[in-house]
Amino acid sequence: MSTVAAQSPFMKTLLGGEPAGASGTAWLDRLRAGALERANSVPLPTTRDEAWRFTDLAPLTRLSFQPVVEAADVAQDDVRDRCFPDSHARLVFVDGVWSSELSQVSAGDGVAAMNLREAMAKYPALVEQHLGKLARSDSNVFDALNTAYLRHAAVIVVADECSAPRPVHVLQLATGRPGAHALYPRVLVVAGSRSRCTVIEDFVALAESVYFSAPVTEIVVGPQAAVSHVRLQREAPDAFQIGSCNVSQDRASSYQSIHVALGARISRLELNVTHTGVGCETRIDGLALIGRRQLADTHSFVDHAHPEGKLRQVHKCVAGAGAHAVFNGKILVREGAQRTDAGQSCRGLLLSDRAHIDVKPQLEIFADDVKCAHGAAIGQLDPDELFYLQSRGLAHERARNLLTYAFAAEVIERVPVAAIRTRLAHTVLERTQEPA
Amino acid sequence: MIRADSPVLLDVRGLEASIGDAKILKGISLCVRAGEVHAIMGPNGSGKSTFAKLLAGHPAYTAIAGTVTFRGNDLLEMATEARAQAGLFLGFQYPVEIPGVSNAQFLRLAYNSIQSARGREELDPLEFDDLVREKIKVVEMDPSFLDRNVNEGFSGGEKKRNEILQMALLEPVVALLDETDSGLDIDALRVVANGVNGLASPDNAIILVTHYQRLLNYITPDYVHVMQDGQIIKTGGRELALELESRGYDWVRAEFERARAAA
């Protein structure tokens, strides 16, 4: 174990125990030990760091969180309400800990979806090759923490040429049991050449309490493969989620994702997509719908390292009451990534005078034959539209919700699973008036 | 239809209103009884649309003097949605587009808001579908418009038909139709006018706000009011509309100025 002193009480408590113990697999032990070292040495970000300028973690780092030692009991009923019909497999983690009782794995040769331990037995080389390679444990202290504590993970392997007929659902349940726990959900997706799959990551709380989650997802998209990814963040109102999703795309592959942030006191998603071959298509859409004193931060980074890559990105923020939404969309077009075609748009809707939205497009272009467009606009509800709806008998709150839905619909309608679209529409349309 | 004994639905007395610092309405009085059709005419900028929007509860306008009684209640004290629920309807000159919300969904929300406020049963999507498909015949609108987003990409005529469809569904007691004829070709005008005529009854009243006489060839008003600079300067019967069409507005203004000078 590392001897480097942890820098703050927050980190000290997190790293207090012996993180993961020996796994019995040398490479995994090395991976974790290396990450633990980094977790001890990489400083916690502050608002003096450019990438964290708008996101003050003080409300998080003032608190202390304990590692999860034992899995909590969760009733089947709690899971049933949170399932989506028609999934190919369901992987359920309770406070980051694998629950085989609640899960329905898929062990088929085409589309395998299982916990890390089983995956390491079945696909030892593949897991060793990819696990921890895309996460940025060297520079990101939260990635490092997750990897240092890596014991359980959803592993989804899609064989070459295979299509998953239905989505794979990864359900991350936070029990919110007493003790202020730190959770480390982890997902690895390896999509083989010319394969297709849809993965739903759903972060759900069973109780309203304070906990800290630092999820890490790694997605390897093989040549000409297509991965569709839905990420729903519905953490408890007082919880914290600082997560990352790291994607590498091989040549002519497609990655489409939609991430929706609804919960948590403070949440942040770092979404990193790297093109490692020519002709990759990326579509990343996001929606943050927050109120109260919530902060939701999305930092996306698309690294065009090869020619003929295409990006389409739409990000929408709805901030009510005293909420604060942050969007930073970085697009890097490296030298030689000619004929890159990238388009990014960010739109914000302020529902109150105290809400605020910070938006920062960030284009860095080192190739000369590229098309890059970006736009950002922040606005409020149009009083004429509100009047129109109220003049038809709709109460103010209902009119506001309908117009909020209209604003968010562009993203919601792109969710490839009907049950999620319906649920999101319901969430938006039934939002109650927040205390000012 | 004028009947002296029919109940007063809307009674406006000495209404003055402003937007920001600008005073737009300068003392309007108007009494509307059940069964009547009123036309408010006047040149652009005379305050016709302001009057209609103020009655419907647009937040940009503030009443600074006068009273408005709607079915015995103080209209100016009521929230916008409460006015609609009590039976006031404004057909918009420029209906708002709402992307992402289907017309059927919007119409059902509006219908159910009014129904529940009136203590009646709300309809589920299937029941409502039957109702709306019946009502849509009134405006000769293709049912495919129900599945499209509210007013999005609708032509001017389609938007106005959609307004009248809403009127048919919400069954208002007083319908204010603001420039419903603007931007309509002759066929659409006929359809919209037929729709309005079909909805007129001895128990409700219709107020047409219009710049041109054209609409009044299809919907016969009982009263024609001429508005000028935030005031009603002349009231007459349907023949007044024809006279305005042939002679313009200037003579009415001159007559009004002379009368004021004499007083």
Which ipTM was obtained for this model? 0.95
Residue pair A187/A218 in contact (Cβ under 8 Å)? The answer is yes
From chain B residues 132-161, the ones with a CB under 8 A of any chain A CB are none
Measure CA of the first residue to CA of the last residue in chain B; give whole Å: 33
- Cα separation of A19 and A14, whole Å? 9
Helix (H/G/I), strand (E/B), else coil: A108: coil
Instruction: Return the SS3 of A84.
Output: coil
The structure tokens listed for A56 are 């003050």
Give the A:B interface size as CB pairs under 8 Å. 80
pTM: 0.89
A19 has pLDDT over 80:
no
Average pLDDT of A413-425?
93
Domain with B62 in it: 8-96+174-262
Q: Inform me whether the C-beta atom of residue B35 falls under 8 Å from chain A C-beta atoms.
A: no
Residue B52 has a pLDDT of 97
Average pLDDT of the residues in A393-410: 93
Q: Establish if B56 touches chain A: CB-CB under 8 angstroms.
A: yes
- The token pair at A70 is 């034992």
What total number of domains does chain B contain?
1
- The structural domains of chain A, with segments of one domain joined by +, span 9-277
Separation of first and last alpha carbons in chain A: 49
Point out which residues pair with B31 in neighbouring strands: B11
CATH classification at residue B67: 3.40.50.300
Between the CA of residue B67 and those of A115, B20, B178, what are the distances in Å? 72, 20, 21
What is the arithmetic mean of pLDDT over A194-211? 96
pLDDT digits (tens, 9 = 90+) for A243-267: 999 999 999 999 999 999 999 999 9
pLDDT, one tens digit per residue, over B130-153 is 999 999 998 999 999 999 999 999
Please indicate, yes or no, if residue B186 is contained in any of the structural domains.
yes
Nearest to B80 among A384, A387, A405 (CB): A387
Chain A interface includes B79 (CB < 8 A)? yes
pLDDT per residue as tens digits for the range A304-334: 999 999 999 999 999 999 999 999 999 999 9
A426: tokens are 């319901």
Is B72 inside any structural domain? yes
CA angle A319-A322-A328, nearest 5°?
50
Find the DSSP H helices in A123-225: 124-130, 141-148
Chain A residue numbers touching B101 (CB-CB < 8 A): 402, 405-406, 409
Please give, one letter per residue, the 3-state secondary structure of A291-344.
CCCCEEEEEEEEEECCCCCEEEEEEEEEECCCCEEEEEEEEEECCCCCCCEEEE
DSSP string, A373-420: EEEEEEEE--HHHHHHHHTTT--HHHHHHHHHHHHHHHHHTT-S-HHH
